[in-house]
């Protein structure tokens, strides 16, 4: 699945995190990758995050999944929307929807949420803290765009939904299959299904807040700090007033904190692990039978294709020209020599075959064995998305 008529450079320059953009069917060929029945089946699965949103007499109701199989038959003609998170984790054809968006760095991409709505169904006027591409997969949906919002924007009282108290549309479009709408962070929007069998694929992006970064980074540092790493002032001199906290003391105290917080190398290593942690770490993707180095060498020698598990997050930080740290599923892998181009390929390609010469490299084999046994790589595509 690729774009045929989408100017990426123009988009990044004029629209990314600046203003909404309607993109009329930019695909070389659009085929809806998931049926409504398949989506409903996922919503009944204990391992899958889902919500059902219904509207009745002006009230919005939200139910968290897993949903009983007979729930959909009880909806009568109520407008409703079924939302299923991270469908790309389970359905390879949905994971393929992400690939054209790799012009955005891997670490920024979150997942693909898929929604199904009956006529008039939606989730109400709202805004998000992240960028999103809304792709119409099946049926039609009317999208309305409103003003910029922030944390001070009034919301309706609701335990589970962040609905705007007031919403005044400034633009609107009706999207048909293959059409796409980009919405930057903070821009209010409202989508309503026009007719039944309306499916929308939402490609969302990660935008960690300053508070999240500081909080998690500090928690990670605290776990490694020693109790005897304390303030000291061996050159203490008598002060004129004992009540003053001197500038020298402030400097020492400040340095005691900032020396750790300001360690860029430690931060990059922490962030790589933090950002690559799976969305659902409780899911076990490890193969039933671990692969060993002999079997892996045989597969490489046969040029058997490798496939990346779409539920795994791959990214790397370059240490210098001849070494990178690869981050996968919250783990760090130090790569040098032959393992460097392999690590780069792992992050850049969804599937690939390696040159058979790599089968003799212990560094490459050790890395691939670890990733296969982690469940992040597989030699068989049908194995990659089996929980």
d(CA 291, CA 135): 38
**pLDDT for position 353:** 86
**pLDDT for position 17:** 97
Rounded to an integer, the average pLDDT of 334-342 is 94
**Which one has a higher pLDDT value, 200 or 78?**
200
**pLDDT for position 385:** 44
Q: Which of 173-177, 225-229, 364-368 has the lowest mean pLDDT?
A: 225-229
**pLDDT for position 245:** 97
pLDDT tens track for 243-294: 999 999 999 999 999 998 889 999 999 999 999 999 998 888 999 999 999 9
8 A C-beta contact, residue 283 and residue 47 = yes
Residue 267: which H helix or E strand, with range?
helix 264-276
CATH topology of domain 8-205: Jelly Rolls (2.60.120)
The average confidence (pLDDT) of the chain is 92
CA neighbor of 102 nearest in space, from 36, 193, 3: 3
**Which one has a higher pLDDT value, 351 or 130?**
130
pLDDT tens track for 284-321: 899 999 999 999 999 998 889 999 999 999 999 998 77
Instruction: Considering the chain, tell me which residue range(s) the CATH 3.40.366.30 domain(s) occupy.
Output: 293-383
pLDDT tens track for 79-108: 999 999 999 999 999 999 999 999 999 999
3-state secondary structure of 256: helix
Rounded to an integer, the average pLDDT of 216-228 is 91
pLDDT value at 223 more than 70: yes
**pLDDT for position 76:** 73
**pLDDT for position 66:** 94
Q: Which class is 293-383 in CATH?
A: alpha beta
pLDDT tens track for 108-117: 999 999 999 9
d(CA 266, CA 217): 10
**What is the DSSP secondary structure assignment for residue 126, as one 8-state letter?**
B
**pLDDT for position 109:** 94
8 A C-beta contact, residue 234 and residue 249 = no
Pairing of strands 187-205, 331-336: unpaired
Residue 283: which H helix or E strand, with range?
none
pLDDT tens track for 185-216: 999 999 999 999 999 999 999 999 999 999 99
8 A C-beta contact, residue 79 and residue 120 = yes
The pTM of the full predicted model, rounded to 2 decimals, is 0.90
pLDDT value at 386 more than 50: no
**pLDDT for position 59:** 86
């Amino acid at each position: 699945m690729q774009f045929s008529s989408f100017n990426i450079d123009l988009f990044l320059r004029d629209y990314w995190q600046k203003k909404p953009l309607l993109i009329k069917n930019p695909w070389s060929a659009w085929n809806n990758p998931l049926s409504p029945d398949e989506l409903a089946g996922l919503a009944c699965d204990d391992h899958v995050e889902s919500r059902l949103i219904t509207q009745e007499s002006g009230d919005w109701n939200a139910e968290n999944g897993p949903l009983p199989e007979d729930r959909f038959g009880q909806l009568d003609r109520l407008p409703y929307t079924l939302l299923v998170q991270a469908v790309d984790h389970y359905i390879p054809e949905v994971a393929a929807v992400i690939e054209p968006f790799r012009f955005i760095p891997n670490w920024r991409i979150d997942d693909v949420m898929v929604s199904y709505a009956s006529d008039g169904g939606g989730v109400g006027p709202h805004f998000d803290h992240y960028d999103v591409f809304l792709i119409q997969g099946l049926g039609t949906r009317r999208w309305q765009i409103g003003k910029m919002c922030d944390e001070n924007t009034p919301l309706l009282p609701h335990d589970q939904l962040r609905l705007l108290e007031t919403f005044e549309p400034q633009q609107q479009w009706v999207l048909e299959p293959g059409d796409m709408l980009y919405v930057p962070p903070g821009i209010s929007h409202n989508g309503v299904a026009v007719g039944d069998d309306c499916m929308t694929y939402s490609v969302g992006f990660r935008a960690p807040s300053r508070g999240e970064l500081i909080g998690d980074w500090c928690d990670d540092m605290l776990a490694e700090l020693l109790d005897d790493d304390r303030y000291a002032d061996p050159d203490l001199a008598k002060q004129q007033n004992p009540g003053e906290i001197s500038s020298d003391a402030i400097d020492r105290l400040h340095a005691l904190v900032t020396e750790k917080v300001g360690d860029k190398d430690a931060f990059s290593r922490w962030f790589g692990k933090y950002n690559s942690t799976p969305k659902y770490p409780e899911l076990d993707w490890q193969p039933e039978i671990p692969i060993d180095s002999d079997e892996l060498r045989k597969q490489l020698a046969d040029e058997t294709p490798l496939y990346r598990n779409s539920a795994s997050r791959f990214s790397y930080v370059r240490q210098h020209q001849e070494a990178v740290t690869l981050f996968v599923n919250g783990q760090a892998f130090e790569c040098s020599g032959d393992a460097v181009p392999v690590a780069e390929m792992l992050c850049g390609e969804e599937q690939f075959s390696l040159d058979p010469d790599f089968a003799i490299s212990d560094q490459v084999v050790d890395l691939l064995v670890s990733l296969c046994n982690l469940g992040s790589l597989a030699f068989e595509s049908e194995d990659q998305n089996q929980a």
